[in-house]
Structure 1
Amino acid sequence: MSRPSTLLLVLSFVGFIALGLPDAVIGVAWPAIRDHFQLSQDALGPLFITVTVGSVMASTATGVILRRLSIGDLLALSCAITAISLFGYTMAPSWIVLVTLGLLTGFGAGSIDAAINTHAATRYSARLVNVLHAFYGVGAAAGPALMTAVLTTGRDWQLGYRIIVGVEIVLAVAFVLSRRYWPPPVPAHEEHHRPARLLETLRLGKVQLSLLVFLFYTGCEAATGAWVFSLLYEARDIATASAGTAVTLYWGGLFASRLGYAFLPADISPDAIIKLCIVTALVGMLALASNIHPIVDTAAIALVGFASGPIFPSLIATTPARVGPQHTANAVGFQISIAAVGLAALPALCGLIAQNWGLERIPVVLTVCWSVLLLLGFRLVTDAKSGARA
């Protein structure tokens, strides 16, 4: 691998770490932010909404933006936007202003996510894409740890965000300095293909099917992570430490399987991995819904996390082969966009279900969702293989 290629790979890894930093830090910062603005517990919802809207807007438009900007320029601009919005959090005179800034935060994050994924899908193997997504988990773990360290030393929550702002600025500078090395989203041997328009891509049946797959997968991943602690602790009377350990094993398993993908034999098909992981996750969720024993619950949760890990990055990595080079940038953008909707929608739906019918309904609902994902995912992979043979 040449020095520029190595540089871009390292920057992609660092970019995903930086993407995870602000995403997870709000959970630790929220009590301090709530006290600062004198808010109620449910006031966090509007911020999630604005961040999601901004992310959907940015990732949907990525294909169009990349016709006018290079990937390096887009990444630099996105990091700058994220830095400005997060710094704005620390200076916001009211909660309404901070919630409004969430649009910029989501736009910056959505652009970074879609741009790096577009680059990775067209340039890297499924093995590297899985490792790349594992590094998002590094950032998602580092953000809360950073904010915890700030708060436990008696500092204000604003300092934690300002440190992240510094990271985003450094990364923006790195992207600016490296912008001439970033290749176009369409490989050189495919440049005779005219980049498709958004509606042209959206009309493809395999793109529409992939959007359903991404919607259900990210919803299942997020809803499990958000509600499994409450299920174990409140509904099944499992001790706090044990319930927390189960959640840790869930996210740890997701990270480990993505990292471990790099060590699989090179001849293993990403499509086969996607199928195996969906089936395994469904088995784990069925075991959790059965409520057999606390030890079985913990093992089932860890299994679901481990099986979930490779699905998203493997789907991203196989996008060019599925839709063709002229549709890749648009398709990746659409997939990241609908993923943001899934991340917000299914956890919220599970909350409504738990409120009205009890927490034990959540693993049942997720079992149904994984079953639907099994049907959709197998059809997507089968259609892609049929298209490739044709």
Structure 2
Amino acid sequence: MYALLLAIIYIAFISLGLPDALVGSGWPVMHEDLGVPLGYAGILTMIIAAGTIVSSLLSERVTRRFGAGLVTAVSVALTASALLGFAFSGSFWMLCLWAIPYGLGAGAVDAALNNYVALHYAARHMNWLHSFWGVGASISPFIMGAAISSGLGWSSAYQVVGGIQVVLTALLFVSLPLWTRVDRTRPPVAHDDTTDTVAPSNAPAHRHVPLRAALSIPGVPLILAAFFAYCAVESTLILWASTYLVTERGIDAATAATFGALFLLGITAGRFLSGFFADRVGDRALIRGGFLTVGVGVALIALPFTTDALALAGLVIAGLGCAPIYPAIVHSTPANFGARNSQAIIGIQMAAAYTGSTVMPPLFGGLSAWTGMWVLPLYLLLLVALGLVMSERLNRRMQVTHAAAD
């Protein structure tokens, strides 16, 4: 029963990643078919991001009321309907309308699943599950490419991915009794990151934790700032790294694009590898080591060596460093702030993540238009420093709290 539900959650994480790269990979063709400027992709992604932020902030109340299983099933159903709506949209305004349920579904399922895994499963599973998200995100561009190259058009890619989501929706609704049984027979666990042990915890009380109350918990603003900084680094590198390599290092566009893809593959592979030692190392060490590794990778990108090999290697190293940070931050939430508060705080964390991913890359675009693309490594290093400082301040606070409790 427990293993079967875990397998379903793994499949759900693949499905979470599937839609994420469809807009970016298909937009060069989509905007021509829809007769809109290339830059309109930003409008679409902003609508999706707004929906994810709203549903993330509401996820605690909704998940506490209906349970993680039902929220996950309904959210995936929303995403499936939005993807099929994209497939049959003949105008840009229709895409914008379907982007609303797309964002609402994505944010709710992300917060609900991440909290459920943080409460019920060990750190290795959190890393492997997020690695499976990377598998889904890596597959969807191939689906889009095959649809376009075969002459079926971009809409068929959305039909395929939407169909997969429909099948997953049915599977999730059928599996709802499993979620209830696991909740009854396997209570939430508290992960003591100071001793790397996993012990039974009191189940979360069925009481709503208001947004203001969650934000007032000591240490929460620190982890939100760290999460914001991490997601800003990841999304800025995804969007601008290839452009930096071409304009500042003179690397040809094909090679730069390849290593841009390797950054994502580095994240996926790094999360898979992290799962093998995450329980022994602990979330705090993973976060600290991840930020430091990203800093080393960014420094290699910036150093003015005559060879480009170090800059390209730096991009891969940055991806490996990024790998454990997101899963470790989420997984450490119940241990840091209590199982009763974790759903509310993870929902806010997801909102902070989406805000960082949405705001900071275009902010760098505006900055680079004024200063030049050379400022990218400095911009990234400042964000890395912010994330590292905030997470280390939280660690010290938690150590003081644990010492006082002892």
Equivalent residue, structure 2, for 1:204: 217
For residues 201-228 of structure 1, give each alpha carbon's deviation from its aligned partner in whole angstroms, at most 9, with x where no partner exists.
1211311111111111000011011101
For residues 73-123 of structure 1, give each alpha carbon's deviation from its aligned partner in whole angstroms, at most 9, with x where no partner exists.
111111111111111112224212211221210111111111110111101
Equivalent residue, structure 2, for 1:389: 403
Matching of residues 326-337 of structure 1 within 5 Å: 326-337=340-351
| 2:290 partner letter | C
Shift of residue 333, structure 1, vs aligned partner: 0.7
Matching of residues 120-269 of structure 1 within 5 Å: 120-183=117-180, 187=188, 190-191=202-203, 193-195=205-207, 196-264=209-277, 266-269=279-282
Shifted more, 289-298 versus 100-109: the winner is: 289-298
Q: Which whole-Å CA distance do the structure 2 matches of 1:231 and 1:101 have between them?
A: 33
Equivalent residue, structure 2, for 1:379: 393
Equivalent residue, structure 1, for 2:195: none
| 1:230 partner letter | T
RMSD of aligned alpha carbons: 1.7
Q: Which whole-Å CA distance do the structure 2 matches of 1:58 and 1:166 have between them?
A: 23
For residues 232-252 of structure 1, give each alpha carbon's deviation from its aligned partner in whole angstroms, at most 9, with x where no partner exists.
112221012321232122112
| 2:311 partner letter | D
Equivalent residue, structure 2, for 1:361: 375
8 Å CA contact 1:229, 1:247 repeated in 2: yes
Q: Which whole-Å CA distance do the structure 1 matches of 2:57 and 2:154 have between them?
A: 32
Equivalent residue, structure 2, for 1:59: 56
8 Å CA contact 1:34, 1:40 repeated in 2: yes
For residues 276-303 of structure 1, give each alpha carbon's deviation from its aligned partner in whole angstroms, at most 9, with x where no partner exists.
1211211221222223231110111111
Shifted more, 193-202 versus 338-347: the winner is: 193-202
TM (norm. structure 1) is 0.95
Runs (4+) of structure 1 moved beyond 6 Å? Answer: none
Shifted more, 152-161 versus 189-198: the winner is: 189-198
2:25 matches 1:38? no
Query: Please, which runs of 5 or more residues in structure 1 have no aligned partner?
Result: none
> Secondary structure of the residue that 2:52 maps to in structure 1?
helix
For residues 190-210 of structure 1, give each alpha carbon's deviation from its aligned partner in whole angstroms, at most 9, with x where no partner exists.
237453333211211311111
Shifted more, 374-383 versus 222-231: the winner is: 374-383
8 Å CA contact 1:88, 1:101 repeated in 2: yes
Equivalent residue, structure 2, for 1:315: 329
> Secondary structure of the residue that 1:190 maps to in structure 2?
coil
| 1:171 partner letter | L
> Secondary structure of the residue that 1:204 maps to in structure 2?
coil
8 Å CA contact 2:71, 2:112 repeated in 1: yes
Shift of residue 262, structure 1, vs aligned partner: 2.1
TM (norm. structure 2) is 0.91
Q: Which whole-Å CA distance do the structure 2 matches of 1:144 and 1:213 have between them?
A: 30
Equivalent residue, structure 1, for 2:26: 29
Q: Find 2:360's aligned residue among 346, 349, 372.
A: 346
| 2:203 partner letter | E
| 1:204 partner letter | I
